[in-house]
Amino acid sequence: MKKLFLSLFAVSALTFAANEAQAQTPYKSALGIVFDGYDGSNVGIQYKTALTNVSALQLQAAFRNHWVSFGADWQYEKAIPNADGLAWYAGVGAQVGIWSHDGNSSTSFGIRPQVGLEYKIPTIPIAMHLDYKPYLGLNNDTGFDGGGFTFGVKFVLK
Q: Give 30-80 pLDDT, tens digit per residue.
A: 999 999 866 667 899 999 999 999 999 999 999 988 889 999 999 999 999
Residues in a beta bridge with 130:
117, 151
pLDDT one-digit tens code per residue, 94-121: 999 998 888 888 899 999 999 999 999 9
**What DSSP character marks residue 26?**
S
Dihedral angle computed from the Cα positions of residues 91, 94, 100 and 106, in that order, rounded to the nearest 10 degrees: 130
Please tell me the distance from the alpha carbon of residue 36 to that of residue 79, in angstroms, as a whole number: 24
Q: Which residue range(s) make up the domain with 139?
A: 2-156
Q: Which pLDDT score is estimated for 22?
A: 39
| Global confidence as pTM | 0.78
Q: Which pLDDT score is estimated for 47?
A: 98
pLDDT one-digit tens code per residue, 2-39: 443 444 444 344 444 444 433 455 799 999 999 986 66
Q: Which pLDDT score is estimated for 123?
A: 93
Domain count, the chain: 1
Domain of 82, CATH number, reads 2.40.160.20
Q: Which pLDDT score is estimated for 7?
A: 44
Q: Which pLDDT score is estimated for 4?
A: 39
CA atoms within 13 A on the CB side of 25: 21
